Amino acid sequence: DGGITQSPKYLFRKEGQNVTLSCEQNLNHDAMYWYRQDPGQGLRLIYYSQIVNDFQKGDIAEGYSVSREKKESFPLTVTSAQKNPTAFYLCASTEARQENTGELFFGEGSRLTVL
């Protein structure tokens, strides 16, 4: 079945460690996004990519990094520079056409907890 797969679903990190969250899609979508969700808040955009080997910062990119070496994959690294990384991270994708309707397809999310 087509969809977006995020892993791991749950992740625990010690302070000072970098962690990488995986996002893979087999929908043949061009655009991919990473969002952060905190309790009682809307989604905040971290990074997005509209084409392979290109990506742009969102509203809260500090302390995060991404790569887009393949169309199917858009991994997110949460670095030790991110001061408050405990959150629910969501990856999404869309076709160029569907971007115009705002229809994003989301993965099941990765919940990161810093110990």
Partner 1 sequence: GQSLEQPSEVTAVEGAIVQINCTYQTSGFYGLSWYQQHDGGAPTFLSYNALDGLEETGRFSSFLSRSDSYGYLLLQELQMKDSASYFCAVRGDDSNYQLIWGAGTKLIIKP
Among the listed residues 55, 74, 78, 107, the single contact to partner 1 using CB under 8 A: 107
Q: What is the DSSP letter of 23?
A: E
Cross-strand pairs, 63: none
Neighbours of 57 (CB within 10 A): 13
Element (H, E) at 99: helix 96-99
11 lies in the site for partner 1, by CB under 8 A: no
What letter does residue 97 receive in the DSSP assignment? Answer: H
Per rule CB under 8 A, is residue 42 in the interface with partner 1? yes
* Contact with partner 1 (CB under 8 A) among 2, 15, 16, 40: 40
Q: Is 52 in the site for partner 1 (CB under 8 A)?
A: no
**Residues in the site for partner 1, rule: CB under 8 A?**
31, 40-45, 48, 50, 56, 58, 90, 94, 99-109, 111
